[in-house]
Structure 1
Amino acid sequence: MSGGVETVVEALGVGKRYGPTVALADVSLTVEAGESHALVGRNGAGKSTLVSLLTGLSKPDTGTVTFGGEPAPPIGDREAWRTKVACVYQHSTVIPHLTVAENLFINRQPTRRGVISWSRLRKDSRELLDSWHVDVDVDLPAGELSVEDRQLVEIARALSYGARFIVLDEPTAQLDSDAIGRLFVRMRELQDAGVTFLFISHHLQEVHEVCQAVTVLRDARHVVTAPVADLTRAQLIDAMTGETGGLTVTDAAERDAVAADAEDVLTVAGLSGDAFTDISFGLRRGEVLGIAGSNASGKHQIAETIYGLRAPVRGVVTMNGRPLPHGDVKAALRAGIGCVPRDRHHQGLVLGMSIADNAAMSVLDRMGPGGLAAPGARTAVATKAIADYDIVAAGPLQQADALSGGNQQKIVLARALGSDPDVLVLINPTAGVDVKSKEALLGQVERVRAEGKAVLIVSDELDDLRPCDRVLVLRAGDLVAEHEAGWSVGDLVADIEGVTHD
């Protein structure tokens, strides 16, 4: 108990090592009933390890975990753990080809005479979702749900086991602003109904919006736990980084404007495609151009069409005066376009391969006949990338899936720039990375711009757009506004949302 308030979960002095690596060192965390408690820290700070201890996926080497004052269940007793805690991960754990009802009661379907009772399964599922005000068709294949609805189904499934403590791991990473607002409303409603959340996010403004308490980890250690109201965003960043001064990002308004006579290196003319219509703009050498909008605006699709990941319905993309073939990534790469795609796990990296193999992918044709490169040549490329981009890794042969999110993203950026492109396309370049990795990634934008190359940044995060000389705003597939460097957050968001800013 803390001041008469029930303690839902408490970790006292927990530590965890993996070989010589200290993943957690003497960390303590107390989460009180009915609150949303934020857990923040840079990639590699120990958040994932702490969550694995709180959810029974691993056992602490030192210290204890208790629920409501009682010792945590044995590691092997998964049923007991499900009654205590559940984690809704950034990447959904629903089975896409099964219905919502089947996902809700998987491996515990109601039976009659040894046979699944489908009518009872649908009835129980509807009652469960109704009890938590989740309006989803129980007969719909889960793969057809929106990201927002998948999360609510996973929360409802966890609650059906009796758990009232839910870990939300980067829940807003794939949601637009409207969906984020609805998620926060549901969180508050569930808190009022007795549900407690541990909220993990790199978006510190969300921590202030939805959480009552926050714990900061740094370098596998506990730094501070405090009411959210007692810490400003800058203080949180200082606690996460161990430095003062907050996030340092170059603002285009503080540097010289692009020369008026700078030539267009890339032009988009009358481009229409999936989720966007009749878009035209130019991108000049030495310019950083941003595209903002909600997830439903079509901004991601435009960037993916420019790079050849999608084919347009009509319109032309011209690179250095030459039209690009539609839907051809290799042609875009040959023409001088490098890209950091929006999903590093599925589009940016081969996670089971080494840093060397990933870093050299875009330049294999330059390293040997037929794209066959000697291991030493690939290792040399990766070694240079590790040094140039400050990638924290054991070495070039380390697998990509063993790295933190920020270091994985640096590999994707290194590969995109490995071919020395004239245009760099960045789609959500700092998604899911910590503050210092964000600074490092956006710092590369400034370096590329200074070399006379052009950069296109498409992002959900306003910080990513600060280095832009111009920001185009898309809404419902249409280009609705353009903002010069020095834009105000209020004006930009008003155009994104289609509201009047007083």
Structure 2
Amino acid sequence: MTGAPAVEAVNTSKRFGATTALHDVSLSIAPGSTHALVGRNGAGKSTLVSLLTGLQSPDAGVVRFDGEPAPPVPDRAAWRRRVACVFQRSTIIADLSVAENLFLNRQGDFVRWGPLRRRAKQLLDDFAVDVDPAARAGDLGVEQRQLVEIARALSQGTRFIILDEPTARLDATAIERLFVRLRALSATGVTMLFISHHLREVYEVCDTVTVLRDARHVLTAPVGTVDHDALVTAMTGEAVGLTTVGARPPVPPETQVALRVAGLTLRGSYTSIDVDVRAGEIVGVTGSGSSGKVALAETVGGLRRPTTGTVTVGGRTVTPGSVPAALAAGIGLVPHDRHREGLIPLLSVAENATLPIAASFGPAGYVSPTKLAATARAFIDRFDIHTSGPAAPVSSLSGGNAQKVVLARALSTAPSVLVLINPTAGVDVRSKESLLDAVRTAAGTGTAVLMVSDELDDLRHCDRVLVMFHGRVAAALPAGWSDTDVVAAVEGVTR
């Protein structure tokens, strides 16, 4: 035992053209510890991860593992033995089996399927992952895919894993199961770097926290010595109370119903859902991953066709299972996965934000560049989108700013109904505040809001919260609910 850190970056810097992505940043992670890396979108976290995984080499400084210099960047096999990263966006290949994913590029020139599946079964059993090795990987749930990725990483010999927003798409029960596994791995000496925008998780599973801000190192300290407010201040540079939610005036009971969901059923997801949302009201929906909440929101937004039941907006029935019909009826949607469903990466910020209203920028399909840019600049200012300009590719944005573009597009048509699915997942604390402020502003102008979220801080902005359990509404909680009330209802416990 040398006593050297398991992983360290020493005075590392990285530039991309005129942009300084990382400036003189150092990080030291003790063997067997779980070390949190936090910061706002654009703080430099992704760049540091690229250095620690060998995807980039630093312009200055060094990276070491167990006191030894990192391998050359081209030596991918050596990097895989030292570090693995489970990214927020899965690297599992959907059309291959679980066994093939576990031993990708390691199965040899001639594949013997029986032994391969037996080795995969043994590996999964070693890490208590209850998945069929022969199953198609694309049929796995989010939680199962993450566990397969962790098992694959450890099977290659590394004892250092980077977890990039591992809980962003998990429900509360799946998150707790993941944390149990992470604690068990830590007890066996596995070292982890845990990246999250959810500060509660940092306090729950991490030993030490490092904060980056504006590409610089701000703070490293034991988690137990830094309270929530101090951590937020380090991330933002300002002393603020981000969890305080101002009271909204109640929506008068005689206010017109803007959205009515009646007898909505989607076989295998939810049954007999009835919900009324009045103009200007924010109604939250939460529940476990199997509750049907996401499928309900996607049905209202036109992404799914219900088995039975109706969705009406302003008293007019919406053609089911049609996004164009939902848009025409006055429904704006912020989908579950902004990468797959919310953005077109090859288009600009302006084109993404104004997609539903592009026809208004000129006759016969012609889009006036002047009108497009002017509208986009107004959206950039209104939603506080940090970008170099309307023409910048949307793929260049941080997660929080990309989500603001998705919200801007949903509101571009001035919809009478706004449907949001986990709107603040994977975004930093400041972006979360901006997004929720924009939602409250929309409600203040009369937009009815249906917000599905696993985040209690999101739900605090709602006038009432519906809790779904096994496909049905199990509880309706008025404003003033406690965290215990929501958690108990999500878990199916009657209080």
TM-score higher than 0.5: yes
1:190 is matched with 185
Q: Alignment partner of 1:7: what SS?
A: coil
Code of the aligned partner of 1:322: R
1:100 is matched with 98
Code of the aligned partner of 1:93: T
Correspondence 1:387 to 2:385? no
Counterpart selection for 2:62 from 57, 60, 64:
64
Contact (CA 8 Å) 2:354, 2:376: kept in 1 or not?
yes
1:95-494 matches, within 5 Å, as 95-110=93-108, 115-251=110-246, 254-274=247-267, 275-494=269-488
Contact (CA 8 Å) 1:110, 1:121: kept in 2 or not?
no
Post-superposition offset of 1:118: 2.5
Counterpart selection for 2:37 from 36, 39, 45:
39
Give a deviation string over 1:279-319, Cα, whole Å, max 9, x none.
Answer: 11211112111111112111111111111111111111111
Contact (CA 8 Å) 1:110, 1:120: kept in 2 or not?
no
Runs of 4+ in 1 over 4 A off after TM superposition: none
Contact (CA 8 Å) 2:169, 2:425: kept in 1 or not?
no
Q: Alignment partner of 2:82: what SS?
A: coil
1:51 is matched with 49
Post-superposition offset of 1:134: 2.6
Identity of aligned pairs, percent? Answer: 57
Post-superposition offset of 1:119: 2.8
Q: Alignment partner of 1:246: what SS?
A: coil
Give a deviation string over 1:349-381, Cα, whole Å, max 9, x none.
Answer: 101110111112111232233443222222222
Report how many aligned residue pairs link the two structures. 494
Whole-angstrom distance in 2 between the partners of 1:135 and 1:250: 41
Post-superposition offset of 1:413: 1.1
Q: Alignment partner of 1:409: what SS?
A: helix
Q: Alignment partner of 1:96: what SS?
A: coil
Q: Alignment partner of 1:116: what SS?
A: coil
Whole-angstrom distance in 2 between the partners of 1:132 and 1:264: 51
Whole-angstrom distance in 1 between the partners of 2:203 and 2:369: 48
TM-score by length of 1: 0.95
Whole-angstrom distance in 2 between the partners of 1:270 and 1:331: 20
Post-superposition offset of 1:209: 1.0
Query: Cα–Cα, structure 1 residues 448 and 249, in superposed 2: closer, same or farther, change >3 Å?
Result: farther
Whole-angstrom distance in 1 between the partners of 2:441 and 2:368: 30
Give a deviation string over 1:409-443, Cα, whole Å, max 9, x none.
Answer: 11111111111111111111111110000111111
Q: Alignment partner of 2:149: what SS?
A: helix
Contact (CA 8 Å) 1:110, 1:117: kept in 2 or not?
no
2:27 is matched with 29
Whole-angstrom distance in 2 between the partners of 1:406 and 1:103: 30
Whole-angstrom distance in 1 between the partners of 2:418 and 2:126: 49
Whole-angstrom distance in 1 between the partners of 2:285 and 2:365: 35
**Alignment RMSD:** 1.6
Whole-angstrom distance in 1 between the partners of 2:328 and 2:380: 25
Query: Cα–Cα, structure 1 residues 200 and 276, in superposed 2: closer, same or farther, change >3 Å?
Result: same
Post-superposition offset of 1:130: 2.8
Whole-angstrom distance in 2 between the partners of 1:438 and 1:498: 28
Q: Alignment partner of 2:145: what SS?
A: helix
Whole-angstrom distance in 1 between the partners of 2:345 and 2:409: 14
Contact (CA 8 Å) 2:209, 2:223: kept in 1 or not?
yes
Q: Alignment partner of 2:234: what SS?
A: helix
Code of the aligned partner of 1:328: S
2:75 is matched with 77
Code of the aligned partner of 1:258: V
Whole-angstrom distance in 1 between the partners of 2:421 and 2:115: 45
Whole-angstrom distance in 1 between the partners of 2:324 and 2:130: 43
Whole-angstrom distance in 2 between the partners of 1:241 and 1:7: 28
Post-superposition offset of 1:222: 0.8
Contact (CA 8 Å) 1:290, 1:471: kept in 2 or not?
yes
Give 5+ residue unaligned stretches, structure 1. none
Whole-angstrom distance in 1 between the partners of 2:404 and 2:81: 39
Contact (CA 8 Å) 2:243, 2:457: kept in 1 or not?
no
Whole-angstrom distance in 2 between the partners of 1:292 and 1:106: 37
Give 5+ residue unaligned stretches, structure 2. none
Contact (CA 8 Å) 1:214, 1:228: kept in 2 or not?
yes
Whole-angstrom distance in 2 between the partners of 1:500 and 1:224: 43
Q: Alignment partner of 1:235: what SS?
A: helix
Contact (CA 8 Å) 1:73, 1:80: kept in 2 or not?
yes
